[in-house]
Structure 1
Amino acid sequence: LLKYDTMQGRFTGEVEVVDGGFRVNGKEVKSFNEPDASKLPWNDLNIDVVLECTGFYTDKDKAQAHIEAGAKKVLISAPATGDLKTIVFNTNHQELDGSETVVSGASCTTNSLAPVAKVLNDDFGLVEGLMTTIHAYTGDQNTQDAPHRKGDKRRARAAAENIIPNSTGAAKAIGKVIPEIDGKLDGGAQRVPVATGSLTELTVVLEKQDVTVEQVNEAMKNASNESFGYTEDEIVSSDVVGMT
């Protein structure tokens, strides 16, 4: 699965299994099977940063287990609860001062929404808005009709055959990233039959009057950077796969 990926394509480097893990392009990577993060050998391995991508340690107290195991920092690749910062790169990463031990990198939808909302608020003033994410199906949905592990009757349906209404926490989480617009956005999600490649629609009321499409597009273009792209090409969802 490290070498062959249905969505992202084949990894062209060398991957081989070795004792205690695997080797990628000559560099050994250790592998562990330990359900208790506090028992992982981060101290022995002199680990600086743990990327917490399991989905189980998504609050500060739980993620602290990695610190107890010897890691210096933890970055949670999901929305998180507790007294910790939620950071979207190139939107509010300047808030980090180096003293943080656990930080949330927010959800994929919040990473999509935040840069756009920031530009609109900074340049035109955002009064209120409604966002909808047209989202690829995810691992918490069924691939065929069957009882869902959380009892959700919609996510119980075949993901690749249905448009499935769902909730999203991105509209509320945006307040953790951009406090000035906290409580100004609401929204929902539609899970659609594509395996990867999603979009976020944002409809807003602006403080500034008579704002034109050209002004908004120019503002987005000027704000574009290595993590926030801008294009006028007539692309589709598959065209963004592999860009991040």
Structure 2
Amino acid sequence: MSNLKLGINGFGRIGRIVFRATIKRPDVDVVAINDLLDVEHLAYLLEYDSVHGRFDGTIEVKDGNLVVDGKTVRITAERDPKSLKWDEAGVDIVAECTGIFTTLETANYHIEAGAKKVVISAPSKDAPMFVMGVNDNELTADHKIVSNASCTTNCLAPLAKVLDDNFGIEEALMTTVHATTATQLTVDGPSRKDYRGGRSALLNIIPASTGAAKAVGKVIPKLNGKLTGMAFRVPTADVSVVDLTVRTQKETSLEEIKAVFKKASEGDMKGVLGYTDELVVSQDFVSDARTSIFDADAAIELNSKFFKVVSWYDNEFGYSNKLVDLAQKVHSL
């Protein structure tokens, strides 16, 4: 099969990390980027990253385009995705990374502009959501527009799947301790979403809502209504952690739970689900391409049906790598 030719709409945090995720993959080429910034600014932001380090390769600006490791990437600055002419750049799939065009109707603008398919880098209210290692086996050639769900759903869904497949989930509550994101403010100000969300990201632990747990019910339908949760936004730059408190249907033990997670991390979920029994902290997972790393030492048991499990995720790098994996799978069908 020919290389996947990827277009990226929106070159923010996720758009740039998606680009980085493709560099070590010989079967994926980013051929076009659309963003409203000028090309020199895009080149700068791609080369220098405060979290993931300097870009490992060469970046030049030539004739209004980017040249990365000798390959030309077309740069445009169109507000209207219908004007992007993706087909002229040979784009197979668009990674929709603006956070704006997240519905079937709006994501379809990219197909109207010549792309064959679209992967949305956010949850969608009506596009089917897929999490690698969980329900990507349900993808078909008829799926033209899909959502990669959220970074937190990509961490939580593998946890929920392993627990439910082995012990059954009666009910569960999730808390994600989540790193700062670009929508937050450095100093107090107004927030359209909620008052607390406008407080300084540098100084506060901020309670926030999240649809990540409920979204698991869309990815694993039999868990619909059994999961909900919330977030705490904390003053770290990257890497988050899911804390899942779960009541199982079957009696089990903490050691048995650890064993099934270790087995899953070495089997079908390898590369998605990780397992660690080392005494790790968040910074140890920066630039980890996996989306859910089970922390065996942090798991606890109250009784034979009530447990807490903890899993780490690089909410930028892990998620972006799985978006590329999803795009590759969509392309292969």
Q: What TM-score results when the alignment is normalised by the length of structure 1? A: 0.97
1:151: Cα distance to partner? 5.6
Note if contact 2:173-2:244 (Cα within 8 Å) is conserved in structure 1.
Answer: yes
> Secondary structure of the residue that 2:131 maps to in structure 1?
coil
Question: 1:213 aligned to 2:254?
Answer: yes
> Secondary structure of the residue that 1:2 maps to in structure 2?
helix
Question: 1:66 aligned to 2:110?
Answer: yes
Match for residue 18 of structure 1?
Answer: 62
Structure 2, unpaired ranges of 5+ = 1-44, 290-333
Match for residue 33 of structure 1?
Answer: 77
* 2:263 aligned residue (205, 222, 239): 222
* 2:125 aligned residue (76, 81, 89): 81
Between the aligned partners of 2:54 and 2:281, the Cα distance in structure 1 is 21
Question: 1:54 aligned to 2:98?
Answer: yes
Match for residue 5 of structure 1?
Answer: 49
* 1:45 aligned residue (89, 92, 103): 89
1:236: Cα distance to partner? 0.6
Letter of the 1:231 partner, please give it.
T
Match for residue 229 of structure 2?
Answer: 187
Question: 1:166 aligned to 2:211?
Answer: no
Match for residue 138 of structure 1?
Answer: 181
The structure whose residues are more often helix, as a share, is 2
> Secondary structure of the residue that 2:47 maps to in structure 1?
coil
Between the aligned partners of 1:142 and 1:54, the Cα distance in structure 2 is 18
1:177-225 deviation digits (Å, cap 9, x = unpaired): 111101100110000110101000101110101x111111111111111
> Secondary structure of the residue that 1:28 maps to in structure 2?
strand
Note if contact 1:134-1:189 (Cα within 8 Å) is conserved in structure 2.
Answer: yes
Letter of the 1:47 partner, please give it.
V
Count how many residue pairs are aligned between Structure 1 and Structure 2.
241
Note if contact 2:74-2:89 (Cα within 8 Å) is conserved in structure 1.
Answer: no
Task: Tell me how large the CA RMSD over aligned residues is.
Answer: 0.9
Letter of the 2:48 partner, please give it.
Y
Q: From the superposition, tell whether residues 117 and 151 of structure 1 become closer, same or farther in structure 2 (CA, over 3 Å).
A: closer
1:152: Cα distance to partner? 2.4
Letter of the 1:238 partner, please give it.
Q
Question: 1:123 aligned to 2:166?
Answer: yes
Letter of the 1:100 partner, please give it.
H
> Secondary structure of the residue that 2:197 maps to in structure 1?
coil
Letter of the 1:113 partner, please give it.
L
Match for residue 141 of structure 2?
Answer: 98
Between the aligned partners of 1:104 and 1:43, the Cα distance in structure 2 is 21
> Secondary structure of the residue that 1:114 maps to in structure 2?
helix
Between the aligned partners of 1:205 and 1:176, the Cα distance in structure 2 is 20
> Secondary structure of the residue that 2:262 maps to in structure 1?
helix
Between the aligned partners of 1:154 and 1:137, the Cα distance in structure 2 is 14
Match for residue 156 of structure 1?
Answer: 198
Letter of the 2:222 partner, please give it.
E
Match for residue 17 of structure 2?
Answer: none
Letter of the 2:165 partner, please give it.
D
Between the aligned partners of 2:255 and 2:234, the Cα distance in structure 1 is 30
1:97: Cα distance to partner? 1.1
> Secondary structure of the residue that 1:215 maps to in structure 2?
helix
* 1:241 aligned residue (280, 286, 290): 286
Q: Once superposed, which parts of structure 1, at least 4 consecutive aligned residues long, lie more than 4 Å away?
A: none
1:147: Cα distance to partner? 2.0
> Secondary structure of the residue that 1:55 maps to in structure 2?
coil
> Secondary structure of the residue that 2:49 maps to in structure 1?
coil
Identity %: 50
1:145: Cα distance to partner? 1.2
Match for residue 239 of structure 2?
Answer: 197
Between the aligned partners of 2:87 and 2:72, the Cα distance in structure 1 is 18
Q: What TM-score results when the alignment is normalised by the length of structure 2? A: 0.71
